[in-house]
Amino acid sequence: MNSLSPRAAVGLFLIVVLAWGVNWSVTKQLVQFLSPLWTSAIRSWIALAALFVILGLSNNLVIPERRDIPVVLSVALLHMTVFSVLVAAGVRFLPAGKAVVLGYTTPLWVAIAAPLIGNDTLTAPKVAGALLGLIGLAVILNPTSIDWTNGNVMLGAGMVILAAIAWAANIIYIRAHRWLASPLQLLIWQVLVATVVLSITAAIVDGIPHVNWSWRLVLLFLYSGLIGTALAYWAMSMVNKSISALTTSLGTTATPLVGIASAAVLLGEPIDLSLAVAAGLIVAGIGLATLGDRLLRSQAIARG
């Protein structure tokens, strides 16, 4: 596939942000019908079928080389399995708007952890961004925003934060990986591994699901599998070929804002002051840390 025109790339990127943002509200509804494991597994099967068609038509179906297998497993297990299941489990007990803000603290954990394990350099903008984000995290987790006396609510918040940390670990590994095939070509193998793991785990843990299927449930799964997963992953791979990493990193900070808005519209969730302040601080912190990371890379390139 060739790179997109700037206008097409921006348009596709907006679709990604909207798809991911709305998907949190959709997931919140899906887990009212099925367990988090089966919700993630069925969504993954739908995405797998769609990606097989998309990548087949675009001649991007390849057998991964041995050196790419670790990154396939990393994305499949840490992001598509652990992140997906923990978010689905956590969002049962949390408003979708608050869950999406907690879930998108991922870049903050990357900014904190990468320098500690020697994969990056700690800079002033990164420190400032991480501090802003952590303050935002404290705001959204304060007792007036989240009921500390409700064990389920605290468990849900912990699950979503743990999901963000798992995604951060995956990002740190991906940065160090030397790719042979493109991320787009490896995408279907990542989804395949995740689908198999999710399905087997769901069958063992939850047994065969007994579901009262309805048009609403079918439409929710089709949105989550086709648009929120398959289309979004494919579109993001295309966007990454056509827009700078800085633009995409900063642009994805709009996802939690879309998530908050969609939760208010679709689920009737209130947007309280603590949620608005926390979202602003976390988004600003991510933006500052991302800009600091970009500055550091630019300096490294200039010295090289």
Walking along the chain (304 residues) 10 residues at a time, the average pLDDT comes out as 70 92 97 97 97 89 91 95 97 96 90 73 79 91 90 96 94 85 91 98 95 95 96 86 69 90 96 92 86 58 51
Contact between 296 and 246 (Cβ < 8 Å): no
**What pLDDT shows up at residue 182?**
85
Cβ-proximal residues to 183 (8 Å cutoff; 6+ apart), any chain: 237, 240
Which tokens is 268 given?
Answer: 């009737």
pLDDT at residue 34 in the model = 96
The C-alpha atoms of residue 129 and residue 127 are separated, in whole angstroms, by: 5
Cα–Cα nearest to 139, from 269, 286, 291, 272: 272
- Summarised one tens digit per residue, pLDDT across range 99-153 is 999 999 988 888 888 777 765 666 787 788 888 989 999 999 999 888 899 999 9
What is the predicted pLDDT for the residue at 1?
Answer: 46
Ramachandran angles phi, psi of 253, nearest 5°: -65, -15
**DSSP annotation of 224:** I
Cβ-contact 161, 24 below 8 angstroms: no
Would you state the structure tokens that stand for residue 67, as one six-digit string? Answer: 């050196």
- At residue 31, the pLDDT reads 97
Q: Can you tell me the distance from the alpha carbon of 231 to that of 221, in angstroms, rounded to the nearest whole number?
A: 13
**Which uninterrupted H or E stretch holds 26?**
helix 6-30
CA dihedral for 180, 185, 187, 193, sign (positive or negative) = negative
- Which token pair is 77? 């297990």
Quote the CA–CA distance of 102 and 119 in Å, as a whole number: 24
Taking the C-alpha atoms of residue 288 and residue 123, their distance in angstroms, rounded to an integer, is 11
Note the pLDDT of residue 10. 84
Q: What are the tokens at 300?
A: 């490294």
Tell how far CA 35 is from the center of its chain: 19
59: phi > 0 → left, psi -120 to 50 → alpha, else beta; which?
A: left
Burial bucket for residue 272 (CB in 10 Å: 0-12, 13-18, 19+): middle
Q: For residues 14 and 272, what is the distance between their CA atoms, to the nearest angstrom?
A: 26
CA atoms of 3 and 130, how far apart (whole Å): 33
Give me the helix-helix angle, 273-303 and 96-103, nearest 10°.
20
pTM of the model: 0.90
* 119: Cα within 13 Å, side-chain hemisphere: 16
